[in-house]
Structure 1
Amino acid sequence: MKELMSTEQLLQGLKHYRRIARQDLLRAPETPHPDAFRLHAEARRALYVGLEQRASELGPQEAVDFALEQYRALPFTTGTAEHEHPDLKGRENGLENFFLMIGLDPKQRREARSARPKLSAAEVQD
């Protein structure tokens, strides 16, 4: 990341992403897996709301640090069916959108990604 965005820029970008997630919520009934699509959009929207709150209360750097921490803790869902684990996939997608928005250094994202755990048997059964 070359230069951290201002709080206002960050909030404006997150608001835009939140609107996209809202539109996806409205489109969910038209998709092959409406419940999974809805949960995916809800997870992204909730993530953006949390990042907005953190950025407005603590500043952009705290929001970025929080997002990286969340990303590191998120289990991999690679290899699962598209409609499985919509909450996890929604959060992953939301965090990756956020990293693109802020221009996070790809190396930093790769390092965080490599620290992520594998999907546990308990999570597979959700």
Structure 2
Amino acid sequence: MNTLFLNGLKKSFKGKEVLRGINIEFKSGKIYALLGLNGVGKTTTIKSIFNEIFLDEGEILLNGEKIKKEDYSIFHYFSENDDLPKDMKIYSFLEKNYFYCYKTTKGFSENLAKHKYIY
């Protein structure tokens, strides 16, 4: 089982502290959501995981070791800004882009995923 550790993440932009010592543990086989008001550091946290920004302090570890480029193939995230093609049903989009990573997750049920509310 893979575990992603965020240890003591700190990041400031133009003197404003956005991340103040974030400590989170993410375990594989689970779905997580970062929720909060605008400006509290959700996007900054995600971008730091994907090495899109440099942290002022802290470390991000996968199973206790620094993340390597090839490790990113096991991470998947869906943001509010991902645009759904106008001619595609939600389930088709998710099946094409996201469900493949969950099919190996214990307890995945395609029948549950195909629930009528996401067609």
TM-score (norm 1): 0.33
Q: Which has the higher strand share?
A: 2
Compare relative contact order (CA 8 Å, sep 6+) and give the higher one, 1 or 2: 1
